[in-house]
Amino acid sequence: MRIDNHGWVSGVRRIASPNHDKRPPHSAIELLVIHNISLPPEQFGGPEIARFFTNQLDTTAHPYFAQLQGVRVSAHFLIRRDGGVIQFVPCQQRAWHAGVSSWQGRVRCNDFSIGIELEGSDSVPYTDRQYAALARLSRRLLRAYPIRHIAGHSDIAPERKTDPGPFFDWLRYRAGL
């Protein structure tokens, strides 16, 4: 894995999302945020997450999707259940993954973070392949950027979010770094 000057990682699938913008000037990338997502909830393997992150989700295709009408979000990366990695936003850009958030007194975590989504939910264990891919990607990002912290979405938005959830094994993940 190599990261080019724009923040695109080689060796991973790329699906460009329009849901990003420039980081504020002098905003160093100092935080990795780990998330989970499944669309529809608890269902894996379909194209819905990529469609959601690229504003192409048919919100009439499933009852749950109606609440996503007009929502514009993205993450830098998605790690599928099989360990496949998709990049939606170059690391140098600000993806819209954290929402209203704060970390150690700093607000607007999107400004200084990279978001990694794991295809999963709060009620299902993650796969061995996901842990391996997450560790590999994280190691590369830690070498490329001045990342000082790794947190879950629940750590930066505790009143709104619960992901990556109780089945995410932080000790296993950190051991792989």
Cis, peptide link before residue 90, omega less than 30° from 0: no
Average pLDDT, the chain: 97
Which pLDDT belongs to residue 61? Answer: 95
Half-sphere exposure of residue 99: CA atoms within 13 angstroms, side-chain side: 14
In this structure, are residues 156 and 98 in contact, taking their beta carbons and an 8 Å threshold? yes
Say how far apart CA 43 and CA 172 lie, in whole Å: 24
Tell me the residue type at 107. Answer: V
Q: Each residue of 94-152: pLDDT tens digit? A: 999 999 999 999 999 999 999 999 999 999 999 999 999 999 999 999 999 999 999 99
Q: Would residue 143 count as lying in a domain?
A: yes
Q: What is the CATH number of the domain that holds 25?
A: 3.40.80.10
Query: How many domains, in total, are found in the chain?
Result: 1
Q: Would residue 134 count as lying in a domain?
A: yes
Under DSSP, is residue 68 helix (H, G, I), strand (E, B) or coil? Answer: helix
Which pLDDT belongs to residue 1? Answer: 85
Q: Would residue 51 count as lying in a domain?
A: no
Q: Which residues are catalytic?
A: 117
Q: Would residue 58 count as lying in a domain?
A: no
The mean pLDDT of 21-47, rounded to a whole number, is 97
In this structure, are residues 65 and 105 in contact, taking their beta carbons and an 8 Å threshold? no
Q: Would residue 161 count as lying in a domain?
A: yes
Alpha-helical segments (H) within 25-152: 48-53, 128-144
Q: Each residue of 74-101: pLDDT tens digit? A: 999 999 999 999 999 999 999 999 999 9
Q: Would residue 59 count as lying in a domain?
A: no
Q: Would residue 46 count as lying in a domain?
A: no
pLDDT band per the 50, 70, 90 thresholds, residue 176: very high
pLDDT band per the 50, 70, 90 thresholds, residue 22: very high
Confidence (pTM): 0.97
Q: Would residue 166 count as lying in a domain?
A: yes
Q: Which structural domain, as residue segments, surrounds residue 151?
A: 13-37+73-175
Q: Is the dihedral of CA 128, 83, 177, 118 positive or negative?
A: negative
